[in-house]
Amino acid sequence: MKTNDQLDPNIFVIFGGAGDLTWRKLMPALFDLSQSHSIPAHFAIIAVDRVELSDDKLRKRLLEGVRKFARSGKTAAKEWTEFSRHVHYLQGDFKSNATYKELGGQCDNLEKEWGAKAQRIFYMATPPSLFGEIPSFLAHAGLAADRERARIVIEKPIGYDLDSAQALNRILAGGFQESQIFRIDHYLGKETVQNILAFRFANPLFEPIWNRRYVDYVTITVAEEVGVEHRGGYYDGAGALRDMVQNHLLQLLCLVAMEPMVSFDADEIRNKKVDVLHAVRAIPHDAVHRSTVRGQYGKGWSGGKKTRAYREEEGVPPDSQTETFAALRLFVDNWRWQDVPFYLRTGKRLPRQVSEVAIQFRGVPHQAFPTEATLDWQPARLVISIQPDEGIVLRFQAKHPGPKMVLQPVDMRFSYRESFDTPSPEAYVTLLWDVINDDATLFMRADQVEAAWRLLMPVLDVWKASPPSDFPNYAGGAWGPDATQGLLVQQGHSWPAPVELAGCPQPK
Give catalytic residue positions.
248
Fill in the amino acid letter for 112: K
Name the minimum Å distance from CB 428 to ligand BG6: 10
User: CB-wise, 244 or 332, nearer to ligand BG6?
Assistant: 244
CB-wise, 90 or 250, nearer to ligand BG6?
250
Report 161-190 residues binding ligand BG6 (CB under 6 A): none
* CB nearer ligand BG6, residue 224 or residue 236: 224
Smallest distance from the beta carbon of 312 to ligand BG6, in angstroms?
18
Distance CA 387, CA 69 (A): 17
Q: Which residue in the shown chain puts its C-beta closest to ligand BG6? A: 243
Report the 10 Å Cβ neighbour count for 458: 18
305-307 sheet: strands from edge to edge: 305-307, 297-302, 474-476
Binding mask 242-271 for ligand BG6 (x = CB under 6 A): -x----------------------------
Give least dist CB 315 to ligand BG6, A. Answer: 13
For residues 252 and 357, the answer to whether their CB atoms sit within 8 Å is yes
**For ligand BG6, the closer CB: 119 or 307:** 307
CA 193 to chain centre: 9
Q: State which residue, 255 or 332, has the beta carbon closest to ligand BG6.
A: 255
The amino acid at 373 = A
Positive/negative CA dihedral, 90, 95, 101, 103: positive
Build a one-symbol-per-residue string for 132-161: x at contacts with ligand BG6 by CB under 6 A, - elsewhere. ------------------------------
Compute the half-sphere exposure of residue 415: CA atoms within 13 Å on the CB side of its CA. 15
Task: Give whichever of 278 and 417 is closer to ligand BG6, judged by the CB atom.
Answer: 417
d(CA 394, CA 384): 9
Query: With respect to ligand BG6, which residue has the nearer C-beta, 55 or 225?
Result: 225
Question: Min. distance of Cβ 426 from ligand BG6 in angstroms?
Answer: 9
Number of neighbouring beta carbons within 10 Å of residue 318: 7
Count of residues that bind ligand BG6 according to CB under 6 A:
2
**Min. distance of Cβ 224 from ligand BG6 in angstroms?**
6
* Nearest to 17, CA basis, from 125, 102, 130, 111: 125
Q: Which residues pair with 122 in a beta bridge?
A: 13, 152
Residues near 344 by beta carbon (within 8 Å), at least 6 away in sequence = 219, 220, 245, 249, 250, 253, 326, 327, 328, 330
- Give the whole-angstrom CA distance, residue 213 versus residue 211: 5
d(CA 137, CA 129): 14
User: What residues between 218 and 247 interact with ligand BG6 by CB under 6 A?
Assistant: 224, 243
Least separation, in Å, of the C-beta of 25 and ligand BG6? 10
Instruction: Kindly give, in sequence order, each residue whose CB lies less than 8 Å from that of residue 193, ignoring residues fewer than 6 positions away.
Output: 187, 251, 252, 255, 386
Minimal distance in Å, beta carbon 355 to ligand BG6?
6
- Which residues contact ligand BG6 (rule: CB under 6 A)? 224, 243
